[in-house]
Amino acid sequence: MIIYGIKNCDTVKKACRWLDANGIAFEFHDFRRDGLDENIITTWLQTVTWHDLLNRKSTTWRQVDPAQRNALNADSAIQLMLTSPTIIKRPVLVNGDKMIIGFNEQNYMALLK
């Protein structure tokens, strides 16, 4: 199981604390430190849509040129996520072929217990 995010994100911290408290082993992949490649994102896109991955409430999203935001499609969204990974909703929990975006205790329990 891998949890993707950035170490200073409060939601990522909350998810990691929950996993630790429930004795669930996981690997942490920091977007900033460990990077992110197209393979990872395209694998995620087999489970969710690029719309689901983009955090339209983030500071990073607000900094994207409005013309670029309006012209987004799957390919340009992938490129945007690669160049600005903090635009991805966090955390992204991957457990085998299952995936959860964000942290919700009930969703984590349903997937992991």
- What the chain holds in terms of domains, given with CATH numbers, is 2-112 (3.40.30.10)
The residues annotated as belonging to the active site are 9
Residue-wise pLDDT for 65-107, tens only, equals 989 999 999 999 999 999 999 999 999 999 998 999 999 999 9
Q: Quick one: average pLDDT of 31-35?
A: 92
State phi, psi for 77 to the nearest 5 degrees: -65, -40
Contacts within 8 Å (CB) and 24+ apart, 32-35: 32/6, 32/7, 32/85, 32/86, 33/7
pTM for the complete prediction?
0.91
Q: Which two tokens stand for residue 70?
A: 């309006």
- Listed in sequence order, the residues at least 6 apart from 100 whose beta carbon sits closer than 8 Å to its beta carbon are 92, 93, 107, 108, 111
